[in-house]
């Protein structure tokens, strides 16, 4: 095996043109196991942090899928596309977007910050009657998705550049899970007098507590003799949930589905139960002063 642990998560920096499924396939080969998953798809054009679960680590991904995320992106104002990014076909003629002042752009960005309703991009992976929206679009269907609530915690314009008639904005977005940065680009173009806009670059820099600075490159195809660091189950769970240490007796009780007394911090609802060595024993819910095991890690897989 070419990973440092058989169970845990691996932080990877997905390269451009790779699908998230491609990355999972590589990790299955490198880790010599079929039990690999990820905590949130990145489009092929996007790069950046992809959290991969290995072995029992796949069971922790559900606690990361809904985590807040941060992205850097480049939004090109002046033309819309069929996919809201550079991979789509242009919609209509380009317009001159270089005249928008910093104040006008800031006002449009501000309107797209906070708790808002967002219509996902039609080429998203959302299922419509059992089929992915992007598959229906590629089949020639007119797909209309319903708006959904999201939270854009921060939407910052870092720099601006004029490229011919276009205004390119380098931005950083911190947002709730389920936010489509392509849709933010589309809506920004609409807010700027309907001039249209699309993404030309996208990079995910953070998922929950994990950053792309911690990530390793995805091993190139054909290079399987590599070593990738895998974060253990205990360290991972403690980073995303409230950690609680228990005695050996309580750890054993949880293994058998019993409910020992909870003595951890007040207000916690779902906790990571660790043994004296910091290994993950269970993910448990706090109910009526007791630990109710929701997920139990087999002794041989704890890390």
Catalytic annotation, residues? 43
103 near 216, Cβ under 8 Å? no
- Residue 61 CA to residue 24 CA, distance in Å, equals 13
Kind of pairing, strands 242-245 and 36-38? unpaired
SS (HEC) of the chain:
CCECCCCEEEEEEECCCCCHHHHHHHHHHHHCCCCEEECCCCCCCCEEEEEEEEHHHHHHCHHHHCCCEEEEEEEEECCEECCCECCCCEECCCCCCCCCCHHHHHHHHHHCCEEEEECCCCCCCCEECCEEHHHHHHCCCCCCCCCEEEEEEEEEEEEEEEECCEEEEEEEEEECCCCCHHHHHHHHHHHCCCCCEEEEEEEEEEECCEEHHHCEECCCCCCCCCCECCECHHHHHHHHCEEEECCHHHHHHHHCCCCCECCCCCCCCEEEEECCCCCEEEEEEEECCEEEEEEECCHHHCC
- Residue 10 CA to residue 52 CA, distance in Å, equals 5
């Amino acid at each position: 095996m070419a990973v440092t642990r058989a169970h845990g998560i691996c932080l990877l920096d997905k390269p451009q043109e790779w699908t998230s499924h491609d990355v999972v396939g590589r990790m299955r080969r490198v880790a010599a196991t079929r039990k690999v998953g990820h905590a949130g798809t990145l489009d092929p054009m996007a790069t950046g942090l992809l959290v991969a679960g290995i072995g029992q680590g796949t069971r922790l991904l559900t606690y990361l899928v809904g985590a807040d995320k941060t992205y850097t992106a480049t939004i090109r104002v002046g033309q819309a596309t069929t996919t809201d990014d550079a991979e789509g076909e242009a919609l209509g003629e380009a317009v001159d977007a270089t005249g928008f002042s910093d104040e006008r752009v800031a006002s449009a960005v501000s309107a797209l910050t906070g708790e808002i309703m967002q219509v996902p991009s039609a080429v998203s992976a959302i299922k419509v009657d059992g089929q992915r929206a992007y598959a229906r679009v590629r089949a020639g269907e007119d797909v209309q998705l319903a708006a959904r609530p999201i939270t854009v915690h921060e939407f910052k314009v870092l720099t601006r550049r004029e490229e011919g008639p276009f205004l390119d904005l380098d931005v950083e977005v911190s947002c709730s899970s389920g936010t489509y940065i392509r849709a933010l680009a589309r809506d920004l173009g609409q807010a700027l007098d309907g001039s249209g806009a699309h993404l030309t670059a996208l990079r995910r820099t953070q998922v929950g507590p994990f950053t792309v600075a911690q990530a390793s490159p995805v091993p190139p195809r054909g290079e399987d003799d590599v070593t990738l660091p895998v974060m253990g189950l205990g360290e991972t769970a403690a980073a995303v949930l409230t950690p609680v240490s228990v005695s050996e007796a309580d750890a054993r009780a949880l293994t058998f589905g019993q409910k020992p007394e909870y003595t951890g911090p007040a207000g916690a609802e779902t906790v990571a139960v660790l043994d004296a060595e910091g290994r993950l024993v269970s993910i448990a819910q706090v109910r009526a002063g007791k630990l109710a095991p929701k997920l139990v890690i087999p002794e041989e897989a704890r890390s």
